[in-house]
A and B are shown apart, each in its own frame.
Chain A
Amino acid sequence: MNELIAPPLPFDMKPRAREAVRDLKLQQFVGSATHLKDIHRGGIFDRDFGHDYDALRTVARDTKQHALDHLDELLEQFIANARASGATVHAATTGAEACEIALRIARAHGALSCVKSKSMVTEEIGLLPAFEAAGIKTLETDLGEFILQIDGDAPSHIVTPMIHKDRVATAQSFVRELGARYTEDPTELTMIAREHMRGLYRAADIGVSGANFLLADEGAAVICTNEGNFDLSVGGPPVHIVFVGIEKLIRGARDLAPFLKLLARSGTAQPLTVYTSFVRGPRRAGEHGGPKELHFVLVDAGRVGVLASEKRDLLRCIRCGACLNACPVYRKVGGHSYGSMYAGPIGAVLTPELERAQAGGGAGLANYADLPRASSLCGACYEVCPVKIDIPKFLLHDRARLRERGLSPKSEGAMLRLWRWLAERPMLFRLAIGAARLHARLLGQKDGSRAWLRAAPGPGAGWTQSRDLGMPTGERFRDWFATHAAKRDTKRGAR
């Protein structure tokens, strides 16, 4: 698997984040794209739902939470109904098992080529490397994923996987890998990819996709795309496999509308994605086109463990990417800094949790100790989440677990505890503040009413690494207030 999204563990985020902040191109692409998406998202909700936006999110939150709280029943219904419509249902505890199921199906059909629609779960389980290793040539059909594939790159955003790349990189890859003539025009580049892929759709032995929702009532999957690549990859090949995390289940089409309306608006500021496709069993008698076999591979890969944990809420995520677009940190460090296919705020909480809950048990937070700390806790993610996942709450929760398990810097913990000890002793607390002020007054550079330190000692050193520390030099507030209040009271008494 690509080290960018499946790095060696334990994962160290800091070097990647530092490098990303210095990467001016990345700053420009990711910064401007995420800002625009966030603005458009806000705009379309204002226009279409106004004050009802919050109520709509509450409905989506509760509907999905209800589904998770009853996931066992929904799963049984889905399996029965999917089978009734002629599909085959498989269950995979691990990513490796999911890949093995797919390879068995592919082998049974002598499949040598595969067209794949964009899917986060297939990134998670490493399907593409598994297929390639088995000699099954696999084509990523989503344009962004396709460009990443031919570049040996990895997605850095849930919805816009190549948000970190520009047209020049794409033009160069198309010349190198496809023998295309050089053009930087996005339309021409897109058409080159279209022509390249059309022949491959027709020849593929097997189609693979993910799913955005599973409908228990209908035994169907719902797949949302803007390009239409899912419909082509399910329509042509004789076999189609849908890989899907079990958390995608909802009761049925009757519960679907809030999610469809929220997903497209949150992700790309559209009323709906261009194609919202329902797949309900293989091709039926007398039908022209469609797979003769349809397989659902229900993937656990840690989800059951999350379901059982106090982080069940995380499984509500519908992968709209809004929290990535709104996150100041994601905007600065880009997706690859998170060392996972799930980047940004949701990735910071989901990645360690899924890893922990894997069959066999991963080290979880110990492997991703930086992720919960890489947040200013600004709350923008929670504000934009269409299913109201309180991501800051889970970040705080993880920070506490890190501290309990001794995975945060010891000196920092000691300092914080000293702080608490002082804060319980007002006199000492004030002395400490006074000492800091004295230090600044003696060593700092005087400017107006402040003394500025360029290099603070001890805990202040991290601060002055990139900014000065300005300490006030004048009268302390309490001294001023004591005098002021005395005057005030005298005046009042006199009246």
Chain B
Amino acid sequence: MTAPHEKSRDEVANNANERTDDGDRAIDALLARVRAAVSAQPVTVAEVPSHAVVRRIANDASDLAGLFETQATAVGMRVTRVHGNQVGGPSTLDAEIAQTLARLIDSHAGTTGRAVVAVKDRELARIAECAAGARLASNTDDDLLFGCAVGITDVDAAIAESGSLVVSTNYRIRNAWITPPIHIALVRESQVLADLVDLFESRQDALDAASTTIITGPSKTADIEGVLVTGVHGPAAVEIVLVA
């Protein structure tokens, strides 16, 4: 977009500096008032309590992939499992992923719709790009995402307990999972965490990005008379390819 502010960048910088001075004073004032307010009442909770009860799924629970599939389906996403056991061996697993992806892209984008690939995993990225073929969107177009029929991503993690996907902007085009009307997510079974708690306890790296989103279903609204409608702003459908 042609931003009117482009030409006055210096001015912006100057303003920003001035603001910072004012801003610092305001922040110091706020901190001082908050300090006074905090000490105006006795501390009632000295220690943060144990969060043991928060966890629903033990992190050594069996068949997390199966639970993830069940829960993701329950919140309205579709799961296709790829085992690579059609013939056997890793090359057939790749082939099966490619085949599944191609089928999903076909069904949602047809032969002319474009697909954006925002996959961090090199191997999966290559497979996804092949599957998209001629429909692959170029990464330089500013309006890229709004013109795509399908957004393909991998994930940083998945959560069995809630059937959630965790996607960050770490080496992925931001919002590739939310702007196109269909999101296809590639998830390896080894990425499935038991519980939301595990994301925050052992996978803080997933939060070390400009933006991270935990996705639990297709975009939903029930604002009009409580009737559930999917696809209000984000995708109407989320297809998960769960890779063994």
Complex A–B touching at CB under 8 A? yes
Contact of B37 among A90, A257, A304 (CB under 8 A): A304
Does any Cβ of B come within 8 Å of A84's Cβ?
no
- Contacting residues, chain A, for B95 (C-beta < 8 A): none
Taking a contact as CB atoms under 8 Å apart, the answer to whether A220 and B48 are in contact is no
Taking a contact as CB atoms under 8 Å apart, the answer to whether B16 and A109 are in contact is no
A190–B45 alpha-carbon span in the complex (Å): 45
SS class of chain B's interface: helix, strand, loop or mixed?
Answer: loop
Place the interface of chain B in its size category: 35 or more
A142–B174 alpha-carbon span in the complex (Å): 20
Contact of A271 among B163, B175, B222, B225 (CB under 8 A): B163
A203–B142 alpha-carbon span in the complex (Å): 12
A272–B161 alpha-carbon span in the complex (Å): 10
Does any Cβ of A come within 8 Å of B122's Cβ?
no
Taking a contact as CB atoms under 8 Å apart, the answer to whether A258 and B51 are in contact is yes
A494 to chain B, nearest CB (A): 60
Query: What is the 8 Å Cβ interface bit string for chain B, positions 6-38, against chain A (1 contact, 0 not)?
Result: 001001100110011001001101110111111
- Contacting residues, chain A, for B87 (C-beta < 8 A): none
Given A66-B48, A143-B223, do A278 and B211 touch, yes or no (CB 8 Å)?
yes
A76–B27 alpha-carbon span in the complex (Å): 9
B172-217 residues with Cβ-Cβ distance < 8 A to A are 173-175, 178-179, 195-197, 200-201, 204, 207-217
Does any Cβ of B come within 8 Å of A471's Cβ?
no
Given A75-B30, A88-B23, do A274 and B210 touch, yes or no (CB 8 Å)?
no
Taking a contact as CB atoms under 8 Å apart, the answer to whether A52 and B53 are in contact is yes
Residue of B nearest to A54 (CB): B53
Taking a contact as CB atoms under 8 Å apart, the answer to whether B212 and A277 are in contact is yes
B107 to chain A, nearest CB (A): 20
Contact of A289 among B38, B40, B175, B221 (CB under 8 A): B175
A355–B5 alpha-carbon span in the complex (Å): 38
A193–B221 alpha-carbon span in the complex (Å): 12
Does any Cβ of B come within 8 Å of A310's Cβ?
yes
B204 to chain A, nearest CB (A): 7
Taking a contact as CB atoms under 8 Å apart, the answer to whether A276 and B213 are in contact is yes
Given A232-B179, A246-B30, A290-B174, do A261 and B3 touch, yes or no (CB 8 Å)?
no
Taking a contact as CB atoms under 8 Å apart, the answer to whether B178 and A63 are in contact is no
B173 to chain A, nearest CB (A): 5
Taking a contact as CB atoms under 8 Å apart, the answer to whether A93 and B211 are in contact is no
Query: What is the 8 Å Cβ interface bit string for chain A, positions 253-275, against chain B (1 contact, 0 not)?
Result: 11111101100000010111111
Which of A110, A166, A189 has most B Cβ within 10 Å? A110
A484 to chain B, nearest CB (A): 51
Taking a contact as CB atoms under 8 Å apart, the answer to whether B16 and A226 are in contact is no
Taking a contact as CB atoms under 8 Å apart, the answer to whether B26 and A272 are in contact is no
A376 to chain B, nearest CB (A): 25
Taking a contact as CB atoms under 8 Å apart, the answer to whether A271 and B233 are in contact is no
Does any Cβ of A come within 8 Å of B61's Cβ?
no
- Contacting residues, chain A, for B33 (C-beta < 8 A): 300, 304
Q: Could you name 20 residue pairs across A and B whose Cβ atoms are closer than 8 Å?
A: A65-B44, A76-B31, A85-B210, A88-B20, A91-B29, A104-B19, A109-B4, A160-B222, A186-B229, A190-B229, A227-B234, A231-B178, A271-B163, A271-B216, A272-B162, A275-B214, A275-B215, A275-B216, A280-B209, A289-B175
Could you list which residues of chain A lie within 8 angstroms of chain B, going by C-beta atoms? 29, 33, 36, 48-49, 52, 55-56, 58-59, 62-63, 65-66, 68-72, 75-76, 79, 85, 88-93, 97, 104, 108-112, 141-144, 147, 160-162, 166-167, 170, 186-187, 189-191, 193-194, 197-198, 202-203, 205, 218, 220, 226-229, 231-232, 234-235, 238, 246, 251, 253-258, 260-261, 268, 270-284, 287-290, 298, 300, 304-305, 307-310, 312
3 tightest A-B contacts by CB?
Answer: A228-B234, A289-B174, A144-B223
